[in-house]
Chain A
Amino acid sequence: MNAVEVRDLSKSFGGLRAVSNVSVTVPVGSITALIGPNGAGKTTLFNLITNLYRPDCGEIRLFGDLLQGGPPWEIARRGVVRTFQTARVFPGMTTFENVLSGAHLHLQSNLLQQMLRLGRCRREERFLARRAETLLDLVGLTRFRDVAATDLPMGAQKLLEMIRAFMAMPRLLLLDEPASGLNDGETAELAVLLRAVRESGVTLAIVEHNMSLVMGVADQVIVLDAGKVVASGSPREIQGDARVIEAYVGQVEGTEQCLS
């Protein structure tokens, strides 16, 4: 089964075709990386899949079910959770509270039980706190537990956003440039983390510019340029593909003309 199945998807902004006739699939249990130069339509594709934008035409299936409009929070209910290009941790909340807020979908206690602090609510809060602390420890953010989340360095904010998404126990996790703001060491740790996430049964789709990360972790790479899929395949296949090099370096004929 495919976690995401996109068929003939198009989206224009004014005169600009940000995504045009794109068909891609993300198999369940894989790590799929979307790469391409700036403005290739990677984030737009993410925004279409997570229902922030309505497509002009084409269809999107998430775990086999057709996506048909509806509010953004419906997407998370289907087990699809995303992060954003600029880490969007919640200002005005501590790191710990940020992580806990990710579990909102799975809250069992209702407002009355929370107001009266009944047993179910207490048990749930204790359970969530333990889970949150484990995740904070996993990515090395424990020492920032009670600090305002927006005070964290950028790389830490990206990690925080990721574990917050993970608290929602997604079936598919969409990460928009998870390695931006991370140094090389942290990027290597991120690669380990991403593989561990895949092993835990979560499908991953990432938009990423860092080639060593992409080539290291991805099972499938999809290359976008100017809103179109240029190539797709395993990292090895992609690395040797002339069209990919063209998309990144520029048109080969054009280059020759300039040189001559």
Chain B
Amino acid sequence: MVSEAVQIITGGLLQGSVFAIVALGYALVYRVTGVINLTQGAFCVLAALITYSLERTLHWPVPLAVATAVVATVGYGLLIGAAVFVPALVRLPPSSLLMVTAGLLTLTNGFALVFWGGDPYSLPPFSGEEPVDVLGARVSTQGLWVAGTALIIILGFWYLFTRTMLGKALQACAENPTAARLMGIDVHRMALLAFALAAMIAALGGIVVAPIFSLQFDTGQMFSILGFIAVAIGGMGSFIGAAVGGLLLGIAKQLAAGYVSSLFSEALALCLLLVTLLWRPSGLFALGRPRRTDVRGEQHVHAPIVRLRGRGALLFGILLAVTIFALPSVISDPSTINSLAIAGILFIAVLGLDILMGYAGQISLGQAAFMAIGGYVAAILATNYDWSPLMSTLMGALVSLICAVVLALATVRLRGVYLALATLAFGLVVDALAIGLRGITGGPSGLTGIPSFSIAGFVFDTDRSMYYLVAAIVSVLLLVLVGATRAGFGRALMSVRADRMAAGALGINVTRVKMAAFAISAVLASLSGSLYAFYFQFLSPEMVGTARSFELLTMLVVGGAGTLVGPLFGVVLLTILPVIFQPLALYKTMVEGALLVAAFRYLPGGILGGLALLWSWSSGHISEKSGLLRQPASRNAR
């Protein structure tokens, strides 16, 4: 009994060391720039894959391969740091920077997919397969390598930040960038340095764990998420916190796997995170910094304001409606109709995300979780209990609504990256349940035999009929949302996004507005998930998993968040392109990441914002009175 517990805890400590290494990278970048850098995990995988190629394919000696891989990864880190991260740091608010790093994560994953394909890779252990005894527990020698690396990194950090001038300069950037600049510190160079150092740490971590984990191009996402969770448990920006958070997370996962079930170890570890966030929103080792609340710190919105109104809006609406309903008669190719129907279904979920993120400014990385709830509830009721598809869809929406209200109530105090983290954790819990509850959801292989959607006996079992159904739903939703966003509700949402305190001072009930945004967003995602399941007649966890949440987010941002038609461009672009350029499907992930990064960098208003800008230029409407569009003249530097 005792030896089993010791075994589990040592296992947890070793796994936790991995999370701690990733979390230390987070803490470093957060401390210097105030940004949660989701790219961390991608660096781990990139370095490990490079090592694999050098060592296994080119037969280089291990130390040389490792050194080269670390240097190459740091070089790559410097490249994207200088080209994307640092320029973005100057122009964007912290919440958008989180998305930029999410884009960099996807981009790097896609890059790995192009070069190494989708196969899993694993390195041989550095010092043999034979485990050794440590305090009565059998530990693989590779585990000692991991723990040792973590320890060396922690000591290195301690030395850097307490004993060197460079450490003090880095610290100064975190405390007050403006003051640091006045003292002659090159803040941008320090940010780049922190980014590259974090890449180096991640690279080392990735290489030492490669013999334990099997690595795939998208394993980076898992590392990033678990590292993010670890650093949040410990307290953002605290090095001790990152290390402790990582170890705690590792132990919690191993204990859950050992005593409950390995299927739920993820879910239980996430519950640990949610409890930590709710109990101590700033983590166990918070770096407390009192802030004045009546003076506004930063600009929250950087995108141009795009407003279609009057006759222009009417004309645009009619044109859009005609295009939507006339398309199937122009296009004969059934696969295109099929992907347009899918695009329409996803657009419903993106519209929900738009209300929550684009209008109310609440970041959600868990939108697909509500698709999953809606999809699974509806599919199970319709398949196993003979409910009509319509009723089961409504039931799914009701369940989603209840979950959304509970989630919103629980996270009402959380904002920005913490809210993003909580929604991400919620999404991962739903993922884990969809995979773990085999008896109900069909587990990883999915749920089959779902009937087609039908209303009062009419069955939507062809691509074309489904397209028209989705088009009708989307049109109604757009009309209704246009009404709401142009009246008091829309203004309340936008004022909460812009400035909660000033909104509160005008009597706007911030909590209620946020709850309403959450509720609408969840119901729309749920509807989308149900339709998705009925259309495919099949539902598996990865169709509505966390990767989907990131995809919905990309569609929203690329199309144009905070407008209702903008996201349509993003959805159509990202669903149709892979169909048209089938041979290039390999590049899909990379392009998605690149588009997300590019949208933030070059098109803050998304495609719609870009089009509006173009239209204004071409017709000379860019005067102050045009009312169609204004590009803010100045962006406040952070």
A residues with CB within 8 A of B: 13, 43, 46-47, 50, 52, 71-73, 75-77, 81-82, 84-86, 88, 90-94, 97, 100-105, 107, 109, 111, 114-117, 121, 124-125, 143-148, 150-151, 164-165, 168, 176
Contacts and interface: CB of A to CB of B under 8 A. Distances in A.
A76 B480 CA distance: 29
B120 to A, nearest CB: 44
A77 B509 CA distance: 10
Contacts of A143: 624-625
A62 B210 CA distance: 65
Contacts of B295: 84-86
Contacts of A82: 505
Contact of A91 (B290, B293, B307, B498): B498
11 contacts: A76-B504, A84-B501, A90-B502, A91-B498, A92-B562, A100-B491, A104-B508, A114-B488, A143-B625, A147-B624, A151-B634
A75 B300 CA distance: 25
Contact of B507 (A114, A125, A144, A168): A168
B484 A92 contact: no
Given A72-B505, A147-B624, 6 more contacts: A73-B505, A94-B627, A104-B488, A104-B491, A145-B627, A151-B630
Contact of A144 (B501, B505, B624, B632): B624
A114 B506 contact: no
B505 A117 contact: no
Contacts of B480: 115-116
Contacts of A47: 293-294
B504 A88 contact: no
Contacts of B501: 52, 72, 84, 88
A114 B487 contact: yes
A73 B506 CA distance: 7
B303 interface: yes
Given A75-B505, A104-B508, A151-B630, A88 B296 contact: yes
Contacts of B619: none
Nearest 8 Cβ contacts at the A-B interface: A76-B507, A92-B301, A146-B627, A90-B498, A72-B504, A105-B507, A114-B487, A88-B502
A71 B511 contact: yes
A148 B632 CA distance: 7
A75 B507 CA distance: 7
Interface string B489-517: 10110110111011111111111000010
B506 A109 contact: no
A73 B510 contact: yes
Contacts of A104: 488, 491-492, 495, 506-508
A84 B295 CA distance: 8
Interface in B272-299: 290, 293-296, 299
B481 interface: yes
Contacts of A76: 504-507
Contact of A114 (B305, B483, B502, B509): B483
B332 interface: no
B633 interface: yes
Contacts of A168: 506-507
B625 A102 contact: no
A171 B141 CA distance: 74
Given A43-B294, A104-B507, A150-B299, A111 B502 contact: no
B626 interface: yes
A139 B30 CA distance: 44
A205 to B, nearest CB: 14
Given A116-B483, A151-B632, A92 B300 contact: yes
Contacts of B299: 91, 150
Nearest to B505: A82
Interface in B497-551: 497-499, 501-511, 516
Point out which of B294, B497, B508, B509 has the most chain A C-beta atoms below 10 A from its C-beta.
Answer: B294
Given A84-B502, A101-B491, A91 B484 contact: no
B507 A73 contact: yes
Contacts of A46: 294
Q: How large is the interface on B (under 10, 10 to 19, 20 to 34, 35 or more residues)?
A: 35 or more
Contact of A84 (B294, B307, B508): B294
Contact of B494 (A85, A97, A115, A144): A97
A112 to B, nearest CB: 9
A124 B488 CA distance: 10
Given A111-B484, A117-B483, A146-B625, A92 B305 contact: yes
Given A73-B508, A93-B305, A165-B506, A115 B483 contact: yes
B561 to A, nearest CB: 10
Nearest to A13: B290
Nearest to B487: A114
A55 to B, nearest CB: 15
Nearest to A92: B301
A104 B483 CA distance: 16
A89 to B, nearest CB: 8
A107 to B, nearest CB: 4
Contacts of A97: 491, 494
Nearest to A97: B491
A95 B314 CA distance: 23
A109 B487 contact: yes
B498 A85 contact: no
A90 B625 contact: no
A252 to B, nearest CB: 32
A70 B294 CA distance: 17
A102 B506 contact: yes
B294 A85 contact: yes
A13 B293 CA distance: 13
B502 A94 contact: no
A93 B491 contact: yes
A71 B497 contact: no
B495 A93 contact: yes
Point out which of A92, A93, A94, A144 has the most chain B C-beta atoms below 10 A from its C-beta.
Answer: A92
Contact of B498 (A84, A86, A92, A124): A92
A92 B604 CA distance: 12
Contacts of B630: 94, 146-148, 151
Interface string B627-638: 100101110000
A82 B499 CA distance: 14
B248 to A, nearest CB: 31
Nearest to A46: B294
Contacts of A52: 293-294, 501
A90 B508 CA distance: 13
B506 A81 contact: yes
B118 to A, nearest CB: 40
A111 B492 CA distance: 11
A97 B498 CA distance: 12
Given A114-B489, A146-B625, A81 B305 contact: no
Contacts of B494: 90, 92-93, 97, 101
Contacts of A145: 625, 627
B488 A107 contact: yes
Contact of A115 (B293, B484, B502): B484
A52 B498 CA distance: 18
Contacts of B505: 50, 72-73, 75-76, 81-82, 84, 165
Interface string B296-332: 1001110111010000000000000000000000000
Contacts of A146: 307, 625-627, 630
Interface string B32-68: 0000000000000000000000000000000000000
Nearest to B304: A148
Contact of B495 (A101, A115, A147): A101
A16 to B, nearest CB: 11
Nearest to B297: A86
A100 B480 CA distance: 20
Contacts of B510: 71, 73
